[in-house]
Structure 1
Amino acid sequence: MNNRLLYATALAVLTSCSTAKDESAGKRTNQSPTSFTTVVECTLYDGMTKQSPQLTIVSSGMEVQVMDTVDAYFVKARVTKDGKTLNGYMYRTCFPQK
């Protein structure tokens, strides 16, 4: 009897976790790019390390489209500079804190 109760409880917990995960994933994919203005001069990198190739230098006060908050340090960004649109990664510290 105890095994059946334990099994039913475990199944209910797993079901509720997977349902919550599916709902949050749907909200994230519908998010559109958000415009931010840089507060300091920053580098747009091709990858998420300082060793990644540099795509361009973004000057202070330049508008950047933030497409996704990738991790604790980087955001995926789109920059238009000299008529070219570049996609890459920038440090979060380039933008004002909310």
Structure 2
Amino acid sequence: MKKTLLFLSALGMLAACSASKDEARSNRTSTTPVAHNAVVECILYDGMTKTSQQLATINSGTEVQVMDTVDAHFLKVRVTAAGKTQNGYMYRTCFGK
């Protein structure tokens, strides 16, 4: 009897863990780009290092499509500047909270 009860309680715990994983998957953010406006003049870089090439200068108020929140300092973005669409990285500080 004790073995059956132990087995059923273990099975119940596994089911609860599985349900919480499904909930976590459904709460993920959308993968479509989200439009934001830059609040200060910033630079679009081709990478996330101090030696990355500068692709464009983005003026304050320019609409930028944020594609991914890459890390604590950078966002992967898509920008149309001077009639040319470019993908690159911008500092998070370029945008408001």
The TM-score normalised by the length of structure 2 is: 0.74
Matched with 1:35 is: 35
In 1, Cα distance between equivalents of 2:93 and 2:22: 34
Question: Hey, which bits of structure 1, 4+ residues long, moved more than 3 A?
Answer: none
TM-fit CA distance, 1:93: 0.9
Q: CA 1:49–1:20 in structure 2 vs 1: closer, same or farther (change >3 Å)?
A: farther
Q: How does 1:1-98 map to 2 (within 5 A)?
A: 1=3, 3-25=6-28, 28-29=30-31, 32-97=32-97
Equivalent pairs: percent with the same residue?
Answer: 51
Q: Determine which structure has more spread, i.e. the larger CA radius of gyration.
A: 2
Give the secondary structure class of the aligned counterpart of 1:28.
coil
CA distance in 1 between counterparts of 2:10 and 2:75 reads 42
Q: Normalised by the size of structure 1, how large is the TM-score?
A: 0.73
Number of equivalenced pairs: 94
